[in-house]
Structure 1
């Protein structure tokens, strides 16, 4: 599970990386937690049937996807992450995977990374408390996590835009130290991932994998 990340890149860096014609100013966010607002990037009318304007757009949504069919009036689902290996068959995510794929700008993610011998010997309580590292991608001020977006119609008639981050099992060589990592979409694959009109779930299946841990730069949390 990916339960926290950061977006400290400037609005100009985000706009440049994601080819956004316009973006609202926002402050650095060194720690973003589930249920808080997160930025997502969506395709325009050329990539989504429900979009009215062409070109990519940035939107603030609730981190924690609420399926469109959910009708509960009490506790909302805590769908912060979607598992890449089961997302095609999961009723909570199936529609979003087909029609509302998005990119989630991030400057860093936070994951527990431990040497294999320490991981094996650690108690569950120690694992929860220690070993958390900050993962960035080289010198890049911002990269893209694969996301899924859903708009939920609340019982009071209000609409809530929500999203989940996609995660995948770590590559085999990395599983001794980390179990899962986010699905990171490379810039050359942005168009294919966002174009829900031209590319169905089968056409983007090859993107649903975690990068090697070596792709990240690891540092201690401040």
Structure 2
């Protein structure tokens, strides 16, 4: 089942912008995995296949964001200072991966330092269910997702919370065409859900509204937020 985990973090020294890129978050995640399962950490590090996880950019928890968190901060122009309350989202698509990391979540030592670039930081807590001030944590079985979709009015409200690019062959494209969006989702659904769709067509999918703007982004870590069913 898909899991969205929120790690609440506090840096003990400044985190400089050059260490807030996708590859540094990827390295931190692999370090977390290797701390409980070195073999799994090595496998994820060397694997070239589609990953069963996604990682968000690091978020600075500001007071004005506590009641409404709709978009994510995807770049930082200034260092994140020591003592700043931050959070980081890890999404897992595979129950096997989640179960292997259970000991990490259950035996978290808030005094154990982890490293993001040159900075030390503490993981103070982990959230796995949505809260009024933190809607990004959640968990739901694939069967529940399938059932909810079966009962819907077939309308999707799809929002990307950071700049997103889609890989097509040897190139990236920024336009969210139905093929770019749903081919990737379908591939991962069939791989991890156990409810495979063998005969499905995207012909009946069409956009009714766009709100798009462009951003220059050199960060290789992209993140999306999926809202379903649409908000009224």
Structure 1 length as normaliser, TM-score? 0.26
Could you say which structure has the greater relative contact order, defined with CA pairs below 8 angstroms and 6 or more residues apart? 2
* Higher-strand-fraction structure: 1
Q: TM-score, normalised by structure 2?
A: 0.25
Larger CA Rg, structure 1 vs 2: 2
When you count helix as a share of all residues, which structure comes out higher? 2
